A and B are shown apart, each in its own frame.
Chain A
Amino acid sequence: MLEQLLEKRLLFVTGKGGVGKSTVTAALARALAQTSRRVLVLETDTFSAMEDLFDYSSPGLEPVAINEYLHASNLTSEECFIATLRRFVPSERIARAVIKNRVARVFFKAAPSVNEVTILDQVRVFFEKTDDDGKPFYDHIIVDLPASGHAVTFLNVPATMHGMMRGIGPIAKMSGKVANLISDPKTTAIVAVCLPEEMPVNETIELAAKLDDELGRPLDMAIVNMVHQSPVPEENRQAFEEIHTQIRKDYPGVEAFFFEDEEERSESTALARLIAGNALALGWFERDSEYLQLLYDRLDAPIIEVPLVYESSGVDVVGKMARFLLEGNPAGNSVSDDESSQGVPR
């Protein structure tokens, strides 16, 4: 499933809040690391989700090794700023003193997009890092983009900056380098995470169009998270629906039973509740299929459907999802069978 991404050294993962973007990012990183590639996951100035998902703690800029192949770091804008500034002043101590100055702080707040540029430049620094033989140190760098705001705006900052400053001055030069890196589809992939629901699917379609318009590059992959599987095998579908119709006749408003206190629930409604519950799940599956179809119709990029994972700990969810990304889900039924997972329209 991940073939398209193996060639790309720099991966930007984007998605709105609540779609499980960080979980998918973590799983993608784990999956790539399991193929013996050295992977670095970067978060951008946020409450770290990776600390939970990888069960580690980020001390600052310097990446931490989660295992032999997997590394992670949370890039705070302040640390990135200091790292960039460090190149212009004699010592780190002075860089820290500069950033503490009140006038400087006001400047950081008001100056357009300085944070984004310094964060993205730090990504570039890791990208260009080499080992003793001069080979790239990290095989893959995966950036978990901020959930709020638009990914295109964020990724477009370096190009805008470069243009605005007419290419003059250190920030402009730095921005130019980063902009080139982002727009190069050979090196860089942009991956969108969404849910199989109306708004996230439409936003993903819009994102692909905007990437094309504004950055002149494609969306490389959409990962649809939390896809419901059909609760009923196709051959029993009609029979199940007839039984559900009968249950609704026998017990009008059966769905309300779900919310009765457990002790008030009557034995006699157990089967009704079980059937209504499965009907609810069938509804989720149908809704998901409808929006997945929309995505397949409108998106010209490979699509991976990640089935809903039932685990309570973040680490376990990531592990299961990573396994799915590597091996597919031969045991899964309907939606995530091999064919549809390869991005072939259903």
Chain B
Amino acid sequence: MAIDDTKTFAEVLDKRRILICVGSGGVGKTTTSAVVGLQAALSGKRVLVLTIDPARRLANSLGIDEIGNERQKIPLERFQEIGLEPKGELWAMMLDMKESFDRLVQRDAPDEETRDAILNNRFYHYFSTSLAGTQEYAASERLYDLHEEGHFDLIVLDTPPTTHALDFLEAPERLADAVGSRALQWLYKPGVLSGRPGRGLMAVGTNYVMRTLGKFTGGELLRELSVFLRTFSALFDGFEQRARAVQKLLASDDVGFLVVTAPDTLTVEEALFFHDQLGSEALNVDGFVVNRVHPRWVDENTLDRGERELAAKLEALAQRMDHFPESLDFDAMAASMVENALQFQLRADQDAGSVVHMSQELPSETPIVQVPYFNQDIHSLGGLDTARRELFG
């Protein structure tokens, strides 16, 4: 609702093929992604909202039962029911990271034997679900595929909540680093883990390290892990190539980032930190969306002038009503309303302060759009459309 920024913000949608929503957890990222998707669909684009959030609420708000691994089109009737006539199309899809990672193994494994050895290894489950970066890597790969396929004019991606915005972007590199580093190549060498002394200073040090780790974990675990990593490294060439292509795409002008945040101090600091991270990689930050902003109801001088005047106005208003509430203590009512206003004013001032702080910290051309704190969860396409009008004016 920052009046001047809504236009700039709408323009953003026109120039990108991919918009990536980043932010910490609980700030309304999924909803914001859907709202942005809806806006673009109404203005004539074929849009895919790609979410990682299995929340049924998003499916409900889009008027469908469930969002699955397959892309799904939001039926036209859903829009017509609430009087909308989209010129484009809105699609939704949920990203199952485990499944995406399995696909990747299936694609890149050099032969069936290697593929099965990986998929059936007892470490694979951990590797594909727990190792930092694997899920994000799988997500960025899927995004790349969908973009290459060219079916959609715009893809809006709702990223997993992370403490570091760049987890998602650095994932390909980090994963490549984890499975492909020279240090690890060394670990693959047969004999290393049997404790046979290697040659040279570095090797001696590492042998000591591995023996110590073996004592600590039990030798079996270390051996099995080593076998797994050696098998897994067969996939590495495919990873490395893809990782480079994905990174090139993310840094291109086809892709923009939206930072989603809530107005409390801690979350704003995190959002600004995301912005710096994105900026340092020369990525396009298209705007900030501040959700859940508490509005200021009345201004200071109204509150200063006091409750008597408001009580009198309240009484005058009541006189005009068809059903005049009998025996109402207007003074008490005005007093309690003013007290509430003063309490929420603290929140509103804090939120407004956060937005000012953001505008000082961010480059002036970065739009900051505020969405007021609704007292209703979004359950329907209609609710989504209300939020859309708040966001795009």
Query: Known contacts A18-B24, A165-B221, A259-B372; is A270 also within 8 Å of B298 by CB?
Result: yes
Q: Is B340 a contact of A243 with CB atoms below 8 Å?
A: no
Out of A85, A273, A284, A310, name the residue touching B212 (CB < 8 Å).
A85
Residue ID in chain B nearest A272 by CB atoms: B317
Out of A19, A110, A281, A312, name the residue touching B229 (CB < 8 Å).
A110
Contact mask for chain B residues 227-239; partner A; CB cutoff 8 A; 1 contact, 0 none: 0010000000000
Residue ID in chain A nearest B217 by CB atoms: A171
9-residue interface stretch from A6-14, A98-106, A215-223, A322-330: A98-106
A280 to B297, CA, bound (A): 10
Q: Is A103 a contact of B187 with CB atoms below 8 Å?
A: yes
Residue ID in chain B nearest A259 by CB atoms: B1
Besides A147-B25, A170-B217, 8 more A-B contacts (Cβ < 8 Å) are A88-B212, A98-B209, A109-B178, A165-B220, A199-B57, A258-B297, A274-B302, A277-B295
Distance between A330 CB and nearest chain B CB, rounded to angstroms: 18
Max chain B CB contacts within 10 Å: which of A52, A103, A105, A236? A103
Out of A114, A247, A284, name the residue touching B375 (CB < 8 Å).
A284
Q: Is A105 a contact of B317 with CB atoms below 8 Å?
A: no
Q: Is A236 a contact of B57 with CB atoms below 8 Å?
A: no
- Asked if B377 lies at the interface with its beta carbon under 8 angstroms from chain A, I say yes
Determine the chain A residues whose CB is within 8 A of the CB of B160 once the complex forms.
148
Q: Is B325 a contact of A277 with CB atoms below 8 Å?
A: no
Q: Which of B265-318 contact A (CB under 8 A)?
A: 266-267, 295-299, 302, 310, 313-314, 317-318
9-residue interface stretch from B39-47, B93-101, B125-133, B142-150: B125-133
Out of B27, B206, B218, B341, name the residue touching A101 (CB < 8 Å).
B206
9-residue interface stretch from B64-72, B102-110, B342-350, B356-364: B342-350
A171 to B221, CA, bound (A): 10
Residue ID in chain A nearest B324 by CB atoms: A242
Residue ID in chain B nearest A20 by CB atoms: B264
Q: A: which residues have CB within 8 A of B?
A: 16-19, 46-47, 49, 52, 84-85, 88-89, 98, 101-107, 109-114, 147-148, 164-165, 168-172, 197-200, 231-233, 236, 238-240, 242-243, 246-247, 250, 255, 258-259, 262, 265, 267, 270-271, 273-278, 280-281, 283-284, 286-287, 310-312
- Asked if B210 lies at the interface with its beta carbon under 8 angstroms from chain A, I say yes
Q: Is A231 a contact of B209 with CB atoms below 8 Å?
A: no
Determine the chain B residues whose CB is within 8 A of the CB of A88 once the complex forms.
212, 215-216
A281 to B219, CA, bound (A): 61
Q: Is B26 a contact of A17 with CB atoms below 8 Å?
A: yes
Determine the chain A residues whose CB is within 8 A of the CB of B24 once the complex forms.
17-18
Determine the chain B residues whose CB is within 8 A of the CB of A278 once the complex forms.
297, 337, 340-341
A197 to B205, CA, bound (A): 54
Distance between B5 CB and nearest chain A CB, rounded to angstroms: 13
- Asked if B82 lies at the interface with its beta carbon under 8 angstroms from chain A, I say no
Query: Known contacts A259-B295, A312-B346; is A109 also within 8 Å of B132 by CB?
Result: yes
Determine the chain B residues whose CB is within 8 A of the CB of A239 once the complex forms.
325, 328, 333
Q: Is A106 a contact of B209 with CB atoms below 8 Å?
A: no
A276 to B317, CA, bound (A): 14
Determine the chain B residues whose CB is within 8 A of the CB of A197 once the complex forms.
377
Out of B163, B217, B336, name the residue touching A232 (CB < 8 Å).
B336
A280 to B215, CA, bound (A): 62
Query: Known contacts A277-B295, A277-B298, A287-B375; is A16 also within 8 Å of B337 by CB?
Result: no
Q: Which of B47-71 contact A (CB under 8 A)?
A: 55, 57
Max chain B CB contacts within 10 Å: which of A18, A171, A231, A238? A18
Pairs A–B under 8 Å by Cβ, sample size 6:
A18-B262, A88-B215, A98-B208, A148-B162, A165-B220, A274-B338
A265 to B296, CA, bound (A): 12
Out of B26, B27, B217, B318, name the residue touching A243 (CB < 8 Å).
B318
Query: Known contacts A240-B333, A277-B341; is A283 also within 8 Å of B178 by CB?
Result: no
A259 to B5, CA, bound (A): 14
Distance between A298 CB and nearest chain B CB, rounded to angstroms: 16
Q: Is B220 a contact of A107 with CB atoms below 8 Å?
A: no
Determine the chain A residues whose CB is within 8 A of the CB of B296 once the complex forms.
258, 262
Q: Is A275 a contact of B337 with CB atoms below 8 Å?
A: yes
Q: Is A283 a contact of B317 with CB atoms below 8 Å?
A: no
Query: Known contacts A46-B163, A109-B131, A310-B343; is A243 also within 8 Å of B317 by CB?
Result: yes
A283 to B320, CA, bound (A): 25
A16 to B346, CA, bound (A): 25
A171 to B213, CA, bound (A): 10
